[in-house]
Structure 1
């Protein structure tokens, strides 16, 4: 029989999605894969009902319905502080997962190099390899997850075609400062490099931190490919609506890639999602407050359980230190914890290029009662670890 592609040999299936299956197997509370257990805003649910009844039910324009692109351009222009042309500078995709792949394939040729900060969301390296490029890893150093300026300069000296920037960061919850972003911007200009941003948590930033859009920095829109989605902002991860925003010369290529990858995002969902894009500014302030409260509830419970962690500034993830329980496999520990404690997390090693096995990732995008139940179970983690294999 013919052999399959060898470019898949260097990465595994998604560890995050695997942990969801393990959580389901043992009936564990799923704090691994980052999706809420609460409903989207009522306005979106009602809009979805209308779209199911009245449509549209057929293909939309490949790169997104006119109404969706116009509403998205209006919203993002306001928040990003730049004027976005809905007809020339947007492609609507099937989630931010496709948006990132579209961005990578639009920017990179086989053999190009791409800077990836480590830890990273697991798709980034897979995307890089699938488009034939080579990742260059730059560590974000625990526990504050800051990058070393000299290490980043050395990475740029390898003449990368692009840098991937997740801000706010998954898995760390780090929000990059203006000084950090400007340092990256200066290097991107000096070495003529694209910056591909993943900003799906753009509106989930804890008080008092602030998200700064990389494309809004002086001279950066021209070389930035901004990727995001509606999934996290409106609690509709299953709708799979994402987008790419970039200058028209990039979007011309992005449309081609998107067209042949997926043809287009779901037409009725684009129609229904207009209710979210047209939300008043207060919605986004309330979202920050909501997730700040959820974070504080979860961190208070971790304190009571005696667990060490890094306080997230944005997104809805917490990196927890498990070094007191094991100096071995964090994968085995997470499987044991799902089975014996009833709470599922993601082993941190799946996010790091470095050999780091003492961190795991929880998420707190859950109802308060779900978080409290998970925390009640985690109170017994240390006791069960002493009795079990850990």
Structure 2
């Protein structure tokens, strides 16, 4: 009996030691990301150390997202929050500011090393300022965003909500797709946003991750941030970021070769979410069906897009899985242009380190398959 009890005691001690010797996941920083592409990059950087959390998953759009109580709990326990900023997800500005009080909040939209492009608002981009012609702005010095110096508190930044696509969104606050907005919209903030947008002059495209160079920069920012919070695993974060960079650089070259023959092709996107991708690979859309992906396009805009398709010889019109395709069908009535899908978020892709490169490759394949005259 004594030998048996001693054996059981030793076994218990061994189990305890094994538990304390497990990987550092339990001690890794609690990381919260907002969208699938950022979650993927964070997953790559944290590989072997821990796993990040995600707020906006599946087919949900960041433009009109309503936070659930379970997700609020994630923010409350976060050590660091990585998000693009209120330009992409305006409804998250207040929750992040109030619930992640103890977390380090990294707003990537204005981070050093991130290339900026101005948004294009017209149905026909060729008839308006493309934005990138004088707007390859880097926010290392924040020359055009001095008003946003105090990002950690976000007190002023909530007024800057959703410069991407939503100038008209206030008119659709009671749209049947937006019942949940009442939980977070506080529409007086949207009124302030309109004034702020008018005074700010120029807005920037928040879909920054669709430029592979920005994706690499984001990985570096995440690695540096996590290394500061978790010095014990700093080398792992930095090595992972370097491996990620090498993978994306190779993919960048592959996509460039695939899309190079298609430069000058005519296509229309659902909304202006792809400027970073288009500009990087020199394959620019001619226009967008809607300014705001969650607002109804006017009859005048639909007519303008139809004329654009006819006059410019547009061959492809792209829908998005996050939104109803009926509007695309309306635009295509009487046209020989083809319909295809571009997904800026990786809606149907499995979360994890492979999602981001798969997302970029899928965009390239969708463009090539639809625009290639031989297909």
TM-score bracket for the superposition, by shorter chain length: 0.3 to 0.5
The two structures have a TM-score, normalised by structure 1, of 0.33
Which has the larger share of helix? 2
Which has the larger share of strand? 1
The two structures have a TM-score, normalised by structure 2, of 0.34
